[in-house]
Amino acid sequence: MSDTMKMQRLAAHPLAGTTMTGAQMIVQVLADEGTTAIFGYSGGAILPTYDAVFLYNQAQGESGDRPMPLIVPANEQGAGFMAAGYARASGRVGVCLVTSGPGATNTVTPVRDCMADSVPMIVICGQVPTGMIGTDAFQEAPVAALMGSVAKHVFLVTDPQQLEATVRTAFEIARTGRPGPVVIDVPKDVQNWSGTFKGDGVLPIPGYRKRLFAATHAAVEDDEAAAFFDMLCEARRPLIYAGGGVVNSGAATALTEFASEFGIPVVTTLMGIGAIDTTHRLAMRMLGMHGTAFANYAVEDCDFLLAVGARFDDRVAGVPEKFAKNARRIAHIDIDRAEINKVKRVQWNHVGQIGDALKTLLAFGRREGFRPDLSAWHAELDELRRTYAMNYDRASEAIQPYYVIEEINRLTRGEAIIATGVGQHQMWAAQYCDFKRPRLWLTSGSMGTMGFGLPAAIGAQVANPDALVIDIDGDASIRMNVGELETVTTYNLPVKVVVLNNYGDGMVKQWQKLFFKGRLSASDKSLHKKDFVKAAQADGFPYAVRLLDKADVPRVVEEFIRFPGPAFLEVIIDRDAGVYPMVGPGQAYDDMITGEFIASRNRGSEPKTPGPSEMF
């Protein structure tokens, strides 16, 4: 290398040319990539990197610079979901640092969860020394084989000279295109190796970069835009179906501007919540299995459907041929070509950046003077909202979960970050909470992982220290990672945790009542002895209260929300409260069950038992 090149490299990074261990290189690249917190649990095979984190933070403190806090959970699954919550709430790449063997295998579920919901995360695993791989050494696991089928990409670093570039490339892969988790398996000898830190450089991944370039630089050409507006011009009832891709790509503003300009109403998936302000005049809220009745009826009635960052999954399009059955045309915009025509045939598509595509279409429509009169459609939708509004038994003496969430929503006004576990409470929160902007709604969508809510809330609070973060959880779901209550208080995070306790796996019980003649096999937890309030108190929560009386709901909920530090609230809710509307698995929207308190177009129809091959 010439002297000039060396000078250029030194100028590019102040530490270029410095001798570092592999572990120190890992930590330095994490800092260079904008990591502001690490979530993880230590162990023998990752100790060199943990020591490097300690030394890095010590040096940062001595120089007056910002350290990179290390948040230690109760177990590695918690660390993975904390990193996921951090990523979902901030848009940055979450980082999870774990040891080999069980440390790595405990992160398999968070990795798959992030892959399913397109969340950018880096998992760095310690591994046994290179020469011992394949010998069944102590705490060895075949990480590459295990993670290869659930992650966006996996690296096993056996050449220490490639370590620095590998970590940098992992961030590139995790955050670009359709985001996802990348796993780096680093043997202990690679961490202990010493070499020269280059300060730049990535691995050659020409195939990925070529595909990425094609997708990110694909523009909607004028003839394509003209074809799109030819279809839209014919529509009298157009509807936008927005998925999690809108949130993940940062395209929410572009979506709102496009919808507002042309007056096109918007329904969102569970993962797309926040893609448009839920209080916006064009927002028709969530569609799908537990979507609002008026959103699902809007999908049935529309004559043109624009799917944006959505994938027609089974929770939305249970019977693809009957989904949006009156739509004469369907258009689809997504960054992932694999999603186009995968489930539902479309008449127009664009593979590329969602925000750029919407901006181009918006500009084209403005140039062409496109001003549709959709007043009749808007009036129809207003009537749908009124007639099929969300509702519940407001006269019940038992505490209804919907009432509790309405009170939380009244106080937070769509500005809080809401994380959830998985189950009935998850759907109630999606139905009854408002979200003024994206990245306020954190939930496990495609994987449906119980235990997600509490650690995700912790990660979100670390990413947004000044935000109000609330975990709305269920008694069964929070049990999965209840050990993370101590993590909240250990780091004095002002996370608010509310457990809606119906003494069991509520969603499972609902299915068992509807489809299994009320046989509550393994789902009734009424004999369990867990005292959640005592558990929270034992873990150091200064506010830990059990709510039993409906009359106390407004006062106690406000106390809980206003409490300045960590707060825990257990609410004993109606055990028979259900999630409605509900579209059974493998069924269409005209089979939707709305319960006793929400109107239905098909009132009186009996719930249909799912077929033998239908999913939960």
In which residue are the tokens 């909607």 written? 220
| DSSP state at residue 248 | H
Rounded Cα gap, residues 365 and 225, in angstroms: 8
Q: Does 138 participate in catalysis according to the annotation?
A: yes
User: What confidence score (pLDDT) does residue 1 get?
Assistant: 43
User: What confidence score (pLDDT) does residue 606 get?
Assistant: 64
Question: What are the tens digits of pLDDT across the range 13-32?
Answer: 999 999 999 999 999 999 99
Q: What is the mean pLDDT of residues 348-356?
A: 98
Rounded Cα gap, residues 291 and 289, in angstroms: 6
The DSSP result for 258-316, as a single string, is: HHHHHT--EEE-STTTTSS-TTSTTEEEE-STTS-HHHHHHHHH-SEEEEES----TTT
Rounded Cα gap, residues 603 and 127, in angstroms: 59
Q: Which two tokens stand for residue 547?
A: 């709510």
At 347, give phi and psi (nearest 5°): -100, -15
Rounded Cα gap, residues 12 and 452, in angstroms: 40
User: What confidence score (pLDDT) does residue 609 get?
Assistant: 79
Of residues 54, 138, 213, 597, which has the active-site annotation? 138
Split at pLDDT 50, 70, 90, the class of 38 is very high
Question: What are the tens digits of pLDDT across the range 518-530?
Answer: 999 999 999 999 9
Query: Which region among 6-20, 285-299, 345-359, 586-600 has the lowest average model confidence (pLDDT)?
Result: 6-20
Contact, 485 vs 429, CB < 8 A?
no
Of residues 60, 132, 139, 515, which has the active-site annotation? 139
In which residue are the tokens 């999908």 written? 299
Q: Does 188 participate in catalysis according to the annotation?
A: yes
Contact, 266 vs 283, CB < 8 A?
yes
9 has a pLDDT exceeding 70: no
Question: What are the tens digits of pLDDT across the range 579-594?
Answer: 999 999 889 999 999 9
Q: Does 353 participate in catalysis according to the annotation?
A: no
Split at pLDDT 50, 70, 90, the class of 5 is very low
- Helix-then-strand count for the chain, H and E: 24, 20
Q: What is the mean pLDDT of residues 409-425?
A: 98
Q: Does 537 participate in catalysis according to the annotation?
A: no
| DSSP state at residue 597 | T
Of residues 25, 33, 76, 532, which has the active-site annotation? 76
Contact, 485 vs 458, CB < 8 A?
no
Of residues 271, 390, 480, 507, which has the active-site annotation? 507
Q: What is the mean pLDDT of residues 84-105?
A: 98
Provide the pairing of β-strand 19-21 with 194-196. antiparallel
12 has a pLDDT exceeding 90: no
Of residues 24, 25, 188, 364, which has the active-site annotation? 188
User: What confidence score (pLDDT) does residue 270 get?
Assistant: 98
Q: What is the CB-side half-sphere exposure of residue 392 using CA atoms within 13 A?
A: 23
User: Across all residues in the chain, what is the average pLDDT?
Assistant: 96
615 has a pLDDT exceeding 90: no
In which residue are the tokens 């910002």 written? 66
Question: What are the tens digits of pLDDT across the range 242-254?
Answer: 999 999 999 999 9
Split at pLDDT 50, 70, 90, the class of 3 is low
Cis peptide before 581 (omega within 30 of 0): yes
Question: What are the tens digits of pLDDT across the range 479-504?
Answer: 999 999 999 999 999 999 999 999 99
Q: Which two tokens stand for residue 27?
A: 């930590």
| DSSP state at residue 466 | T
**Alpha-helix residue ranges (DSSP H) falling in 399-493:** 401-412, 424-432, 453-463, 475-479, 485-490
Non-local (6+) Cβ contacts of 466 within 8 A are none
At 497, give phi and psi (nearest 5°): -120, 120
Q: Does 587 participate in catalysis according to the annotation?
A: no
In which residue are the tokens 């010590």 written? 58
pTM of the model: 0.96
Split at pLDDT 50, 70, 90, the class of 603 is low
Split at pLDDT 50, 70, 90, the class of 330 is very high
Q: What are the chain's domains?
A: 3-205 (3.40.50.970), 218-387 (3.40.50.1220), 401-572 (3.40.50.970)
Provide the pairing of β-strand 19-21 with 70-71. unpaired
Question: What are the tens digits of pLDDT across the range 179-217?
Answer: 999 999 999 999 999 999 999 999 999 999 999 999 999
Split at pLDDT 50, 70, 90, the class of 4 is very low
Torsion of CA 381, 382, 383, 385, to 10 degrees: 90
